[in-house]
Structure 1
Amino acid sequence: MSLVNGLPAHVLLVHIVVVLVPLTALALVVAALWPRAARRLGPLLPLLALVALVSVPLTTQAGEWLERHVTDDALVRRHAELGDGLLPWALGLFVLAAVVWWAARSAPAEPGRDGGTRWSALPVRIVVGVLSLAVAVGAVVDVYRIGDSGAKAAWHDAVSKTTTPAGLR
């Protein structure tokens, strides 16, 4: 995918990544630390993570097309390099979202009931919570860094630092 209505697809697809990766990260942390939330979210959590995961390579491929169609620039190259690092974070969000969903699904709804795995066991919840928090923070920080570098690449020489006189607009 390269163009959508005459606009570079990357410019449009990036909004999906910028919204869904942090949203997935937040939902994952809440679900990992609060089993009742995980049960309420149900399959929505891994589905959200899957859409976020799929959107990353689509956006990256569209960005690579765009990179070949703009003037060679160090800021654009830096943005592309950073963008290539988001896929492992998105994959981590998806894997952990699937684990949290599966564990909450197979755990008893109430403490003390038999059946299912011991999702309520404190050591398991701590490990999954810490991993979820680490991957969520890493993914959000990476999205921020990529977005910041993309904004700098797109706007670094397009805006004047001083006000333009009214007659020159």
Structure 2
Amino acid sequence: MGLINGVPAHVLLVHAVVVLVPLTALVLVVCAVWPLVMRRLGVALPLLALVSLIAVPLATDSGEWLQERVAETSQVERHTEMGDELLPWAVGLLVLAAAVWFAYRRAEANAAPAPGAAQASAVGTGVRVVAVVLCVAVSAGAVVQVYRIGDSGAKAAWQGRISSRSGQQG
């Protein structure tokens, strides 16, 4: 993907990633911690994670197109390398979003108390705690990676090009 209305597609698509990945991470953690929120969102959680995942390679591909058309610097190279590291985090968000959604649906289907429910509840609580910890860890990692990539991209694009004085060029 190259240009959109004369502007590099990467400059536009990266905004989808900057919004969607942290939003997905936040919603995932909230749904993992509060099942009531999961009940209200339903399938929207894994769908949001899927859209976030799709946005990442679109931004990455458009960034690689742009990289071939700008001056080659160590900052641009670093930014490009870091951009390639976001996809596994986005996959992790999707996998966990689907797992949280599936686990919630399964718990709702099995809501009727059965013999041995106390033991199952203890196991369910342990699994839920592990799920929450995983969701928090992957969400935090994804958000930090988005920040790091964005920071490196901003430095690659703008560092040394802005004057501290109005009307001056760097």
Question: Normalised by the size of structure 2, how large is the TM-score?
Answer: 0.90
2:65 matched residue in structure 1: 65
1:82 matched residue in structure 2: 82
Aligned partner (choices 120, 123, 129) of residue 126 of structure 2: 123
1:40 matched residue in structure 2: 40
1:25 matched residue in structure 2: 25
1:121, distance to aligned residue in structure 2 (A): 1.6
Contact between 1:24 and 1:49, CA under 8 Å: does it hold in 2? yes
Deviates more, 1:102-111 or 1:17-26: 102-111
5+ residue gaps, structure 2, are 115-119
Task: Give the ranges of 4+ consecutive aligned residues of structure 1 lying more than 4 Å apart after TM superposition.
Answer: 109-112, 117-120
- CA deviations over 1:81-120 (Å, ceiling 9, x no partner): 1100000000000000000011111213796545xx9698
- CA deviations over 1:45-65 (Å, ceiling 9, x no partner): 000000000100010000000
Contact between 1:111 and 1:120, CA under 8 Å: does it hold in 2? no
5+ residue gaps, structure 1, are none
1:34, distance to aligned residue in structure 2 (A): 1.1
1:148 matched residue in structure 2: 151
Distance 2:134 2:121 in 1: 18
Task: Specify the SS of the correspondent of 1:121.
Answer: helix
Question: Normalised by the size of structure 1, how large is the TM-score?
Answer: 0.90
Q: Is residue 52 of structure 2 the alignment partner of residue 49 of structure 1?
A: no
> RMSD value over aligned CA atoms?
2.1
- CA deviations over 1:23-73 (Å, ceiling 9, x no partner): 000000001111121121100000000000010001000000000000111
Q: For residues 24 and 120 of structure 1, do their structure 2 counterparts lie closer, same or farther at Cα, with a shift above 3 Å needed? A: farther
Identity %: 59
Distance 1:120 1:68 in 2: 53
- CA deviations over 1:101-143 (Å, ceiling 9, x no partner): 11111213796545xx969821011010000000000000000
- CA deviations over 1:133-165 (Å, ceiling 9, x no partner): 000000000000000001111101220133447
Q: Is residue 8 of structure 2 the alignment partner of residue 5 of structure 1?
A: no
